[in-house]
């Protein structure tokens, strides 16, 4: 299996795990970053700027789950 094929499989798995994020990135973008004093921060953005922000996550998985749930509420 080529690296490209492996990446496509991983993308499909990620879409199943976080379907709302997978749909959101077609109309906006997301950010997940570490900010000093705030731990991990997750954001959903559109053309107008930040539409949702969550802070103080302990790991990326926790941030992704919260972000996916929040995006579902925006729809």
Q: What is the pLDDT of residue 13?
A: 67
Domain ranges of the chain: 34-75
- Is the pLDDT at 48 greater than 70? The verdict is yes
In the three-class reduction of DSSP (H, G, I as helix; E, B as strand; rest coil), residue 1 is classed as coil
Indicate the pLDDT class of residue 73, thresholds 50, 70 and 90. Answer: very high
What is d(CA 4, CA 43) in angstroms, rounded to the nearest whole number? 28
pTM for the model stands at 0.77
Q: Compute and round to an integer the Cα radius of gyration of the chain.
A: 13
For the ranges 1-10, 14-23, 51-60, 66-75, which has the lowest average pLDDT?
Answer: 1-10
Q: What is the pLDDT of residue 70?
A: 97
Q: How many residues does the chain have?
A: 75
User: What is the per-residue burial (b if ≥16 Cβ within 10 Å, else e) of 36-70?
Assistant: eeeebbbbbeeeeeeebebeebeeeeebbbbbbeb
- Is the pLDDT at 65 greater than 80? The verdict is yes
């Amino acid at each position: 299996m080529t690296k490209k094929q492996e990446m496509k499989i991983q993308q499909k798995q990620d879409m199943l795990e976080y379907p709302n994020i997978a749909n959101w990135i077609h109309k906006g973008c997301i950010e997940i970053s570490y900010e000093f004093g705030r731990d991990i921060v997750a954001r959903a953005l559109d053309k107008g700027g930040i539409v949702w922000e969550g802070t103080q996550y302990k790991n990326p998985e926790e941030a992704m789950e919260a972000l996916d749930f929040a995006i579902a509420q925006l729809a």
